[in-house]
Homo-oligomer: A and B are copies of this chain.
């Protein structure tokens, strides 16, 4: 896959908003054959994510420390802003990929310990998500979602 396309996706993630502009993320792009196989192995568990053996790129999303302001806010308000922030950055990455005609799959189920070993991620860090990035061979499935009435309301719960 052209690195130019991957760089555009990274740029979209880079610009994502985050609590107190903390940007608590690091995206490790894996496109080297040997490591790709190892990370793919870590994602294929319990019969899931088998398609990962075919993808040209896997991205490990590392949760980094929040800055002090965001940490303080998270404690005072009892909110895990850091995970929200990761969600926003990852969504930007995937939307940019779609815009480029690429396909993504966000995975939360993988052997995190193995991924950290292969990529040399410090013990203190978590790899919260893997993103598969590739050229889809079929159109996106139509989405099954709650209705608008179920997921929204006006002026009261």
Binding site for B on A (CB under 8 A): 7, 10-11, 13-17, 19, 21, 23, 25-32, 35, 62, 73, 77, 79-81, 83-88, 90-92, 94-95, 106, 108-109, 112, 119-122, 125-126, 128-129, 143-146, 148, 151-157
Known: A80-B80, A87-B85, A151-B26. A157 touches B73 (CB 8 A): no
- Give the CA-CA distance A31 to B94 in the complex, in Å: 31
Please determine whether A31 and B155 come into contact, CB atoms closer than 8 angstroms: yes
Q: SS class of chain A's interface: helix, strand, loop or mixed?
A: mixed
Known: A146-B14, A148-B14. A109 touches B73 (CB 8 A): yes
A157 interface neighbour in B62, B156, B157, Cβ under 8 Å: B62
**Can you report 11 residue pairs joining A to B where beta carbons are below 8 Å apart?**
A14-B145, A15-B143, A23-B145, A26-B151, A29-B154, A73-B108, A79-B83, A79-B126, A84-B129, A88-B91, A91-B91
Please determine whether B148 and A7 come into contact, CB atoms closer than 8 angstroms: yes
- Give the CA-CA distance A129 to B28 in the complex, in Å: 29
Residues of chain B within 8 A (CB-CB) of A151 are 10, 13-14, 23, 25-27
Name the residue on B nearest A125 (C-beta): B157
Please determine whether B87 and A120 come into contact, CB atoms closer than 8 angstroms: no
Shortest distance from the beta carbon of A84 to any chain B beta carbon, whole Å: 4
